[in-house]
Amino acid sequence: MAPKDDFGFSRRDFLKTVGVGGIAAGVAGPPEAGAQTAAVGPGAVPITLTINGKAHRLEVEPRVTLLDAMRNRLNMTGAKRVCDRGACGACTVIVDGRTIYACSALAIEMQGKNIRTVEGLSEGTVLHPVQQAFCEHDALMCGFCTPGFVTATVALLERNPNPTAEEARKALDGNICRCGTYSRVLEAALSAKGVKRG
Amino acid sequence: MASWPSSPTLLGKSTRRLDGPAKASGRATYAYDIRRPGMLYARIVRSPHAHARVRAVNVSAAEKAPGVRAVLPLVDVSQPDAAKAMYQGDEVVAIAADTEEQAHDAARLVTVDYEVLPHLATVEQAMRPEAPAVFPKGNVTQGSLEEEGDLAAGFAAAAHVVEGTYSTQVQTHSCLETHGCVAEWEGDRLTAWVSTQAVHATANGVATALGVPQTNVRIITEYMGGGFGSKLGPDFEVVVASKLARQAGKPVKLMLDRKEEQLGTGNRPSAYAKVRAGVDAQGKFVAFDAETWGTGGAGQGAGFPLPYPVYVWTSRRRRHRDVYINAGPQRAMRAPGHPQGSFITEVVIDELADKLGMDPLELRLKNLPPEEPNRMWGKYFQMAAARIGWSRRHKTGDPAPGPIKRGLGCAANRWGGGGSQQTRGHAEIHPDGSALIRIGTQDIGTGTRTVLALIVAETYGLPLGAVKVEIGDSRYPFAPGSGGSVTIGSVSPVARIAAEQALGQLVAKVAPSIGADPLALAAKDGRIFVKDDPSTGVTWKEACTLLGTTPIVVDSQWEKGLSSVGTSGVQFADVEVDVETGVTRVKKIVCVQDTGLIVDKLTAESQCYGGITMGIGFALYEHRILDRNTARMVNPNMEWYLLPGPSDIPEIDITLVDQPERGVVGLGEPPTISTAAAIANAVANAIGARVRDLPVTPAHVLAALDRQREGGTL
């Protein structure tokens, strides 16, 4: 059951910080959203997200982030929630070719976009070259940051297949690893071979 | 008696983690990722005040809010003395609702009537004679006194004396996966998927807290996202989620958010030391006298070893007091006490070296105890000195022109480790040739799963993938919590012993079938054969078919002789400091570390990378900052609680000293101990002024340079 509009103050504050205009445009934009073009919310609204090439129809309140929509509604738990607010990169996904923090994007705004997550990188049991490189170089310890680092590395190498160490560090600076595997992540990023441009 | 193989096939090599693909592909399922049918989401309402009495809690609006299924008070307002929040973030009431958003909304509807009480935000406030009595047993503990040797005679013999006050900050664990679990009841039996470092301790503690038999509680930890000592259980979150789940009759997920994690799930206590230390004219440490204090917030245990027990002092005295303040309580954090003690001691030593006009490495070498397998500092210092190029070290204060100054520093570490004799293990070999090892330990990112598979596969002469490893379940045979670097020393011997016993039973079946003496048989390369006549034998699969329908099942226990207690290492740092901005960049860290018998070189090296990286954070960035007026944490997040990132990591040069005769030795903690001390000494060597307080922030560097101009710290 969706909550009624009892708590408007907090939701409006939240929407303000992420930009209400974008949400309205996002809802009105794609044809999957249906004929409804009036203001949406506060209850759940139907949306369609295209994740790893597959369309997912779901109902979420406008305040639900892409990360929570994936994790709590679609059971796609590869992207992790760590810092809650766009500081650590554990929820990194690739949207229309650019990395974004899924914790800081509203699901409703992500309609009509091409969303790629860590789940879409391997084909069956065949790992993506970046995932393979992470395993070979032990660029993972507890593994909680790993999906975010892998995704950020894939995005880097699709843009720039032969980065310098400095470029790789810069590209991964939005991600945090508390176990401290950075040295190995960098080795993996610089050694992954055969990454096609996305 | 069990022993390690003299010429292993798998052990000691660089082997990829078994669970690498699961982690890299996002398929690894952590407690945070568990979803159960009908699962509710929980939130905890917490005190915004550092010290307050909870007079009343009104949950009537929250209970009526959409989706709310359970409300659980966490303070008893009928007990005014106990109904107190002792720090910002102390728990007041918990709520479970159908969706996470509904739980958030309902939590906002709870109104709490707080009587705000006087609080203590800093150790200085708490130690004032006129400080309000906030803690029942006093704000400052009576203190403990350690004394050895004749201090007066020591100072009388001293040619040079250093005096100063040194400090280290509060560091938070900052586990990426926050504390929490999913709890589910089936009748009177509880299953909880928990982010923990200790499945058994959690099961026992939660059962006790809930008043249910320990047999009815099962804790599962397939994967967990970092603990560093803060998840040694039993965690409060598990008890709360279990109670909510029982109340609602549905599974409940309670995972803390980042702010909660930073406020209340543990930290490394601060350390302060007023030190007077003396060295004689020949460079012998003759006296160390210290008044020390520190705070673990609203919790006990801010002790740290001092002088750090690597070097020999002919006389020493130390009085320590714990100070309580209204902040989140400390919990064990990676080598508790050691980085603090190491920093203070090693900086004092460098100051003594300067007074004496002696190279600080030479001074250290003069004051080490005799070499033993677990204390090889002298040898390691020389190895590391060669690797960093110590011969190019200039005297304190880089004479080079320009604002960028370069410097070198060093420090030593030691750790206990060992293994728990309570550890048990279970091995199976099945008629189809499949093999299993099952131990109730957990892999907290250290590679335990891989280590167990390597040991059993090595024993059977099978490839790594042939062994199934089952860990992370409190129903499995007992193993201790993953703390104190004892995991490898606990589970490796048990795995080896269980596998040797299981193999012995298999060999006993094979021997008569090929007309050989069981003692003459070996298992290698997927075969069991006569050692002196390798062509006589059977494949592993053929051997296992001899079992008929009955698998081999072995339960074994820990024995001495396969692991060692005690380890040592050193680290050197090469840094660059901009004396105009105060910014320090670490250029290189050299690490030489005793690793005993290396099981997996790849994951052993990763432990060193990880410890050093956390040490860089402690040295330069990490700092729990409390507002000195409100005692609220200024940086309970990952923007302003600064953790090292990819661009902060220098070249790291690791030498693992393989001493297979020592058996396995734990490696989780030692590599993080001496990093900050080595960096601080390198900074002083660069800028010619002492930073006596961690973290070495630009502000601390510039202040040290200012003091230097005014008459100096050196």
Optimal mutation site among A126, A144, A181, A185, interface B, most CBs of chain B within 10 A = A144
Q: Give B-chain residues touching A80 at CB under 8 angstroms.
A: 30, 32, 176-177, 225
Out of B20, B30, B101, closest to residue A135 by CB: B20
Q: How many CB atoms lie within 10 A of CB A37?
A: 11
pLDDT exceeds cutoff 60 at B702 = yes
Q: Give B-chain residues touching A71 at CB under 8 angstroms.
A: 33
DSSP for residue B336: T
Q: What is the pLDDT of residue A23?
A: 39
- How does strand B68-73 pair with strand B40-46? unpaired
Q: Would you call A81 and B32 a contact, using CB atoms and an 8 Å cutoff?
A: yes
Residue with tokens 């938070």: B172
Optimal mutation site among B30, B34, B101, B172, interface A, most CBs of chain A within 10 A = B101
How many angstroms separate the CA of residue B27 from the nearest CA in chain A?
Answer: 6
Higher-confidence position of A24 and B38: B38
Give residue B465's identity as a one-letter amino acid code.
Answer: G
CA distance B407 to B399: 11
Optimal mutation site among A82, A101, A126, interface B, most CBs of chain B within 10 A = A82
| C-beta of residue B561 within 8 angstroms of C-beta of residue B543 | no
pLDDT exceeds cutoff 90 at B709 = no
Q: Which of B597, B594, B497 is nearest to B554 (CA)?
A: B497
State the pLDDT confidence band at A42, using cuts at 50, 70 and 90. Answer: confident
Out of B605, B639, B643, closest to residue A178 by CB: B643
CA distance B400 to B686: 10
Sheet holding B160-168, edge to edge: B144-148, B316-323, B285-295, B271-279, B160-168
Q: Which of B195, B198, B216 is nearest to B207 (CA)?
A: B216
The per-residue DSSP string of B349-399 comes to: HHHHHHHHT--HHHHHHHTPPPPBTTB-HHHHHHHHHHHHTGGGPPSSS--
Q: Which residue of A has its CA nearest to B654?
A: A183
Q: Give A-chain residues touching B27 at CB under 8 angstroms.
A: 78, 119
Q: Would you call B646 and A184 a contact, using CB atoms and an 8 Å cutoff?
A: no
Higher-confidence position of B55 and A27: B55
- pLDDT tens-digit series, residues B478-500: 999 999 999 999 999 999 999 99
How many angstroms separate the CA of residue A78 from the nearest CA in chain B?
Answer: 4
DSSP for residue B536: E
What element of type H or E holds B52?
strand B52-58
Q: What is the pLDDT of residue A36?
A: 47
Share of chain B above pLDDT 70, in %: 100
Give B487's contacts (C-beta < 8 A, 6+ positions apart).
B441, B444, B446, B448, B479, B480, B666, B668
Q: Give B-chain residues touching A135 at CB under 8 angstroms.
A: 16-17, 20-21, 24
CA distance B656 to B607: 11
pLDDT exceeds cutoff 90 at B332 = yes
Sheet holding B84-85, edge to edge: B84-85, B52-58, B111-116
Structure tokens at B23: 């982690």
Structure tokens at B481: 């919590």
Q: What is the pLDDT of residue A33?
A: 44
Q: Which residue of B has its CA nearest to A123?
A: B25
Q: Which of B73, B46, B41 is nearest to B59 (CA)?
A: B73
Q: Would you call B225 and A144 a contact, using CB atoms and an 8 Å cutoff?
A: yes
Q: What is the pLDDT of residue A197?
A: 54
CA distance B79 to B289: 45
Q: Would you call B652 and A7 a contact, using CB atoms and an 8 Å cutoff?
A: no
Share of chain A above pLDDT 70, in %: 79
Q: What is the mean pLDDT of chain B?
A: 97
**Contacts of range A159-166, beta carbons closer than 8 Å, 24 or more positions apart:** A159/A97, A159/A197, A161/A195, A161/A197, A163/A189, A163/A190, A165/A190
Q: Give B-chain residues touching A77 at CB under 8 angstroms.
A: 26, 29-30, 32-33, 35
Share of chain B above pLDDT 90, in %: 98
| C-beta of residue B203 within 8 angstroms of C-beta of residue B219 | yes
Q: Give A-chain residues touching B260 at CB under 8 angstroms.
A: none
| C-beta of residue B124 within 8 angstroms of C-beta of residue B165 | no
pLDDT exceeds cutoff 50 at A13 = no
State the pLDDT confidence band at B712, using cuts at 50, 70 and 90. Answer: low
Structure tokens at B296: 């673990």
Give B391's contacts (C-beta < 8 A, 6+ positions apart).
B385
- pLDDT tens-digit series, residues A46-90: 999 999 999 999 999 999 999 999 999 999 999 999 999 999 999
Q: What is the pLDDT of residue A27?
A: 40
| C-beta of residue B303 within 8 angstroms of C-beta of residue B293 | no
Structure tokens at B74: 């966490």
How many angstroms separate the CA of residue B173 from the nearest CA in chain A?
Answer: 9
How many angstroms separate the CA of residue A80 from the nearest CA in chain B?
Answer: 8
Q: Would you call B646 and A85 a contact, using CB atoms and an 8 Å cutoff?
A: no
Give B590's contacts (C-beta < 8 A, 6+ positions apart).
B384, B387, B388, B571, B572, B573, B574, B653, B655
What element of type H or E holds B40?
strand B40-46
**A123 CB burial (10 A radius; 0-12, 13-18, 19+):** exposed
Q: Which residue of B has its CA nearest to A179?
A: B610
Give B328's contacts (C-beta < 8 A, 6+ positions apart).
B87, B88, B89, B263, B264, B265, B266, B267, B297, B298, B633
pLDDT exceeds cutoff 80 at A8 = no
pLDDT exceeds cutoff 70 at B667 = yes
Out of A79, A170, A181, closest to residue B606 by CB: A181
CA distance A87 to B257: 14
Q: Which of A18, A176, A154, A172 is nearest to A87 (CA)?
A: A176
Structure tokens at B251: 């599974």
Higher-confidence position of B26 and A194: B26
State the pLDDT confidence band at B713, using cuts at 50, 70 and 90. Answer: low
CA distance B197 to B443: 8
State the pLDDT confidence band at A39, using cuts at 50, 70 and 90. Answer: confident
Q: What is the pLDDT of residue B710?
A: 82
The size of chain B, in residues, is: 714
- pLDDT tens-digit series, residues B669-696: 999 999 999 999 999 999 999 999 999 9
Give residue B31's identity as a one-letter amino acid code.
Answer: A
**A-B contacts (CB, under 8 Å):** 191
Q: Give B-chain residues touching A186 at CB under 8 angstroms.
A: 646, 649
How many angstroms separate the CA of residue A64 from the nearest CA in chain B?
Answer: 8
Q: Give B-chain residues touching A181 at CB under 8 angstroms.
A: 606, 609-610, 613
Structure tokens at B436: 């299993």
DSSP for residue B420: -
Q: What is the pLDDT of residue A196?
A: 67
Question: In Å, what is the CA distance from A56 to each residue of A52, A101, B27, B219?
Answer: 10, 20, 19, 34
Q: Which of B693, B675, B617, B591 is nearest to B173 (CA)?
A: B617
Q: Would you call A142 and B177 a contact, using CB atoms and an 8 Å cutoff?
A: yes
Q: Based on C-alpha coordinates, what's the Rg of chain B?
A: 28
DSSP for residue B271: E
Q: Would you call B67 and A3 a contact, using CB atoms and an 8 Å cutoff?
A: yes
- The torsion of the CA quartet B44, B49, B55, B61, rounded to 10 degrees, works out to -40
- pLDDT tens-digit series, residues B429-487: 999 999 999 999 999 999 999 999 999 999 999 999 999 999 999 999 999 999 999 99
| C-beta of residue B174 within 8 angstroms of C-beta of residue A178 | yes
Q: What is the pLDDT of residue A38?
A: 64
State the Cα angle at B312 between B307 and B314, rounded to 5°: 95
Q: What is the pLDDT of residue A10?
A: 36
Give residue B649's identity as a one-letter amino acid code.
Answer: I
pLDDT exceeds cutoff 60 at A12 = no
| C-beta of residue B507 within 8 angstroms of C-beta of residue B523 | yes
For the entire predicted model, the pTM comes to: 0.94
| C-beta of residue A93 within 8 angstroms of C-beta of residue A161 | no
Q: Give B-chain residues touching A183 at CB under 8 angstroms.
A: 609, 613, 649, 652
pLDDT exceeds cutoff 70 at A14 = no
Q: What is the pLDDT of residue A40?
A: 80
pLDDT exceeds cutoff 80 at A2 = no
The per-residue DSSP string of B503-531 comes to: HHHHHHHHHHHHT--GGGEEEETTEEEET
